[in-house]
Structure 1
Amino acid sequence: MSDTGMYVTLLVVSIALTFLVGRLLVTAGEPFLQEVFQDTKVTRSVNLLLSVLFHLITLGVLAIISVADFADGQEPLQTFVVKLGVVLLVLGLAYGISMLVLIRVRERRRADQVSEQVQERLAERSAPAPRPVVEPQISTQPVIPKRQT
């Protein structure tokens, strides 16, 4: 296979793998985002934005990898395998970072919810107990005026 053929093959395989991993990230990330935002429209919107970010960064790095020369003097097939290995490492790293971000966002949201619950309970405990309402007692005895002497 010629150098051009391997170059095109590397690009096709890299782009296909990027979109496959990106789709997996969107699918796996949606439950995390749904738990955080608790709104389907917001979840889908954020998921789409994260997907676009993942694809742009990863495809940019892959474009750089495709023209970088990692193996001086090696056979074209060996160079192809080395570049494909770098592509896989970059995809794995990008996927891992994306999942870590999603996990951190979810953990932060959970911590905020726990903090809010603790604050509410502390406020309930420290609030003064409501005083019983004392209603004036009305006597049913007739009032007899005092005589003046």
Structure 2
Amino acid sequence: MDENLNGYVAFLVLGVILVLVDGQLILRSGKAYLQQGYRDQEAAASMARLVAVLFHLVVLGLFMIISTMEVQVGGMVQTVITKLGIVLLLLGLMHGVTMAILNRIRARQREQLMADEMNERIEERHAQQNAGQGYPPVPAQGQVTVTPGTSSSPGPVVSPAIEDQPGVARR
């Protein structure tokens, strides 16, 4: 009975150490990876922590289930090694899933950053164009202003241009 208990304790200690080490690698590497897609570094760190906590909870839960499974492959050493092998395969799989999650988060953030930068450039371009013509600056995104015509432009001016408005069909 002592041999079974010692093997069980050894499996638990080694397994928990493996999960915690991998989780810390995910946390640190994930934070650096996500910071490339976030303007706010604290938001990137927070998202990395959330993903790491999810990883720890899922893997430790599965690890606890594996710890109660009966595996008879010979002696206690072989049983511990077999169970640790299962845990390592599980860790590898979950590490890959976590990397895919981090990649997806980063891709979404990069897309958002690019869209924000494009909107800023469009607003700057409109402001520069309108400033040279004596028009008021372009309002914040989503707002439209109409300025009455002047001697150089007989009709009303819509700022930003109607063609640039969301939902307007282009020809």
* TM-score band, normalised by shorter chain: 0.7 to 0.9
Give the whole-Å Cα distance in 1 for the aligned partners of 2:16 and 2:120: 50
Return closer, same or farther for 1:66/1:26 CA change in 2, 3 Å cut-off.
same
Structure 1 residues 79 and 50, CA gap change in structure 2 (3 angstroms): same
1:62-81 Cα distance to aligned partner (Å, 9 max, x none): 11101112x33632222111
Deviation of 1:37 after TM superposition, in Å, equals 2.5
Cα shift at 1:115: 4.7
Instruction: Extract unaligned runs of 5+ from structure 1.
Output: 137-149
| Offset, 1:112 | 3.5
Counterpart of 2:14? 13
SS at match of 1:36: coil
Per-residue CA distance 1:99-118 (angstroms, 9 max, x = gap): 11111111222234445556
Give the number of equivalent residue pairs.
133
Equivalence for 1:102:
102
Supply the distance in 2 between the matched residues of 1:31 and 1:83 (Cα, whole angstroms): 32
Equivalent-residue separation in structure 2 for 1:105 and 1:68 (angstroms): 35
Hey, what's the Cα distance between the residues in 2 that align with 1:60 and 1:132? Answer: 66
The answer to whether the Cα contact below 8 Å between 2:38 and 2:110 also exists between their aligned partners in 1 is no
Greater helix share, 1 or 2?
A: 1
Residue pair 2:35, 2:44 contacting (<8 A) in 1 also: yes
Give me the whole-angstrom Cα distance separating, in 2, the residues matched to 1:118 and 1:42: 22
Residue 132 of structure 1 and its aligned partner are, at CA, apart by 5.8
> What TM-score, normalized to structure 1?
0.72
Matches within 5 A, 1:128-143: none
CA positional deviation for 1:86: 0.5
Tell me the equivalent position of 1:42.
Answer: 43
Equivalent-residue separation in structure 2 for 1:85 and 1:61 (angstroms): 14
Q: How far apart, in 2, do the equivalents of 1:35 and 1:101 lie?
A: 15
- Aligned ranges 1:47-126 → 2 under 5 Å: 47-69=48-70, 71-72=71-72, 74-115=74-115
CA distance in structure 2 between the aligned counterparts of 1:40 and 1:115, rounded to whole angstroms: 19
Where relative contact order (Cα < 8 A, 6+ residues apart) is larger, the structure is 1
| TM-score normalised over the length of structure 2 | 0.64
Output the aligned Cα RMSD. 3.0
Percent identity, please.
34
Greater C-alpha radius of gyration = 1
